Structure 1
Amino acid sequence: MVAPTLPHLTPEQREHLEQLADAARLRAALYPSPKPTPARPAPLPPPRQYPGGRPNPWRTARGRRRG
């Protein structure tokens, strides 16, 4: 790969930039990023019911229209 020339940098700045790039490449080679875990859908909340197991009458009465 051809390194682009940066005329506005001093030789000291260019050397420092090259050292930082080398360090970043070495870090990436030694410590690869972990693979992301696959996303799972959130569990559904339990249905709202009375303690005896009967469904909530407000929810069962919804949607029934007489007319």
Structure 2
Amino acid sequence: MMIAFGIQLSIDSGKNGVVTFEAKTDELAKHYIRDFGAIQVFAKQSGGPIMLMIADNAALSLFNIYLS
């Protein structure tokens, strides 16, 4: 739901629903990729966060599931 609200804010500000965020763990990153269609946008640095992006059809799908 929180990601869907981020998508809504992105749409409202003219960014076409694109959101980027950090996954705290490898397991969460895998969950976002598998279940929400996220893609990794930066290579993970040693011990650093995993940066992900949700855009296009994945963003629209989440928006429709949670906010329409």
Kindly indicate which of the two structures has a greater share of residues assigned to strand.
Answer: 2
The TM-score, its normalising length taken from structure 1, stands at 0.24
Kindly indicate which of the two structures has a greater share of residues assigned to helix.
Answer: 2
Structure of greater relative contact order (alpha carbons < 8 Å, 6+ residues apart)? 2
The TM-score, its normalising length taken from structure 2, stands at 0.24
